[in-house]
A and B are shown apart, each in its own frame.
Chain A
Amino acid sequence: MLMPKRVKYRKAQRGRMKGTAQRGATLAFGEYGLKALEPGWVTNRQIEAARVALTRSLKRGGKVTRSLKRGGKVWIRVFPDKPVTKKPAETRMGKGKGNPEEWVAVVKPGRIIYEMQGVPEDLAREAFRTAGQKMGIATKFVMRARTL
């Protein structure tokens, strides 16, 4: 699962998620993408689950259409670099901050989370619908405008 190799500090404050994404809000690599519609923390487990769902649905789609026995290329545009701590169950308040339990990516509305290339639109739509269900935040499918 995605997590930093080294960090400066073990624990981080929660922070706020005001406003919309100012960077990473447009498609940079692929033809299709999954865009966040609300702010939230996306955990490394969710990112991995959605990635697996994406690749699986591409393979399934490939078998159906026969001409597409290959998958597309997928880019992950977010990285979980924020540690989230949790206090153990049935612990009294105080005695310091809890231990780091998971890593999350801070996602603001408009942020592109995944991009994909090399598959037909209907297959990409279906793959991103499945991946979006793993996210924990509302998402939508976006695609690059075609040049005539």
Chain B
Amino acid sequence: MEMQELTITRREATGKQVAKRLRRAGAVPAILYGGAKAEPVTVDPKAVLRMIHGREGTTQLLALKFDGETSGGARMAIIRDLQFDPVSEDLLHVDLQEVAADRAITVRVAVRPVGEAAGVREQKGILNLVLHELDVSCLPTAIPQRIDADVSALMIGDVLTVAALLAPGGVRILTPAAQAVATVVPPMAEEVAAPAVPAAALVTEPEVLTERKPKEEEAAAPEEGKKPKKAEKAEKEK
């Protein structure tokens, strides 16, 4: 797997305000862990996004270079997690995990469907990719770019499971073998226009679990001897 270079800068300050200030300045707070101790750092969001563009779903191996430091060789790391803003989709935070070249790690690898499913071609079905990423265990230098899933033999109702996937040498798939990867589902049925139902009939209320049943006393007619409260009040005022 090709190793890309990422320049990171050490930072001393931590906390929410510091992180906000960094983001306003165009940088993104990040954390580098997996070594002797976790180190807070900052990264350039554009560099990170350029690095993962087109390789989403697969863990990238990076050679980390500290900005302004000439001593010491590059450290090997992977992007363990990326946090994005749910609305603007801006990069908020990066988790970098330092890795050793000789120790196997667990990473995620993208699954790519290969070929056109027979169920799509002949039966006009729809290919439904159930699993987009796989958990695999391998050496950092052997992380595959993707794992191909051959869907060409799938007919409507057929399911391709993890067991049918071929992992490259040195890569062990950790996702359960029975997990579905892709299936071909029948096309959406034509909607039959329902007969017009009056709006009042459509409104139905769900069953209420805590609803009190009317007591027998309340349900019975009020006793004759008792006067309604309002009438009593009016008499008093007089």
What is the predominant secondary structure among interface residues of chain B facing chain A?
A: loop
| Chain A residue with Cβ nearest B132 | A144
Cβ of B205 < 8 Å from any Cβ of A? yes
| Interface-lining segment among B36-44, B51-59, B172-180, B230-238 | B51-59
Cβ of B79 < 8 Å from any Cβ of A? no
CB neighbors of B among A1-51 (8 A): 1, 3-10, 20-22, 25, 31, 35, 37
CA A25 – CA B88 in complex, angstroms?
11
Q: State the Cβ distance, B195 to closest chain A Cβ, in Å.
A: 16
Cβ of B210 < 8 Å from any Cβ of A? yes
Cβ of A136 < 8 Å from any Cβ of B? no
With an 8 Å Cβ cutoff, the count of chain B residues facing the other chain is 34
CA A6 – CA B187 in complex, angstroms?
31
Known: A70-B187, A117-B129. A6 touches B124 (CB 8 A): no
Q: Is the CB of A8 within 8 A of B57?
A: no
Q: How many A-B residue pairs have CB under 8 A?
A: 84
Set of chain A residues within 8 Å of B146, measured between Cβ atoms:
147
Q: State the Cβ distance, A8 to closest chain B Cβ, in Å.
A: 5
CA A22 – CA B210 in complex, angstroms?
30
Q: Is the CB of A147 within 8 A of B55?
A: yes
Known: A109-B86, A118-B128. A147 touches B209 (CB 8 A): no
CB neighbors of A among B170-197 (8 A): 185, 187-188, 191
Q: Is the CB of B57 within 8 A of A147?
A: yes
Q: State the Cβ distance, A55 to closest chain B Cβ, in Å.
A: 6
**Residues of B in contact with A (beta carbons under 8 Å apart):** 53-58, 85-87, 89, 110, 112, 124-129, 132, 145-146, 185, 187-188, 191, 202, 204-211
5 closest A-B pairs (Cβ-Cβ)? A110-B86, A118-B126, A145-B56, A25-B86, A70-B187
